[in-house]
Amino acid sequence: MVSVIKAFSIRHSPVIAIAAISLSIALIGDSANLALRYDREEIIAFEWWRLFTGNLAHLSWNHLWMNLAGLIMIWIIYDQQLSTTQWLINFFVCSIAVGLNLYLFNPELSWYVGLSGTLHGLLMAGIIINVSKKQRLDLILFVLVSGKLAWEQFAGALPGSAETAGGPVIVDAHLYGAIAGLIMGLIYAYTHKTHKHSPTTNN
């Protein structure tokens, strides 16, 4: 029984860790949120960790539960596509990509919180890996996600999303995360394909 629990914990450690950190920030309250959120002025003052930690803070409990539900759903669908280490790397890269691109291309944005940009990256990476494996359903999903991103860029956030989150939806974060996930997915797919077809030798 202990070995089963240990194996479960190791395999699902990315989701457990992300959920635990996000929940801890929410439980501590405003002090943690203010110290960790993406804050442009504080980043200029060399608080660079906010480029990453801003993705783990949230506007409200509804915002947090919505994002954690999305995280668990993506994990259930795509958890076998990457190793635990690759999942953590992908999460870190997509999170940094969201924070860094907001800093570079959205100077009007003073602060930001939420996991949705990173979730778009995780979802896109899983889709790309499956598309590389000729999974037709994921090709349809790629079109749908791309259509959603295009809608957000031209028409704004989906109806009702701001009310559910409890504040304005920064749609550019979704785009930045998705682009990072697309790149990571292509890298993983290419690496897997190269490794699969690499010659082996017998000694």
For 183-203, the pLDDT digits (tens) are 999 999 998 777 665 555 444
Angle at 84 between CA 49 and CA 98, to 5 degrees: 35
DSSP secondary structure letters along 70-137: HHHHHHHHHTTTS-HHHHHHHHHHHHHHHHHHHHHH-TT--EE--SHHHHHHHHHHHHHHHHHTT-HH
pLDDT(2) > 60: no
Interval 80-132: pLDDT, tens: 888 999 999 999 999 999 999 999 999 999 999 999 999 999 999 999 999 99
2-197 falls under which CATH superfamily? Rhomboid-like (1.20.1540.10)
pLDDT tens figures, 153-181: 999 999 989 988 889 999 999 999 999 99
Residue 150 near residue 175 (C-beta atoms within 8 A): no
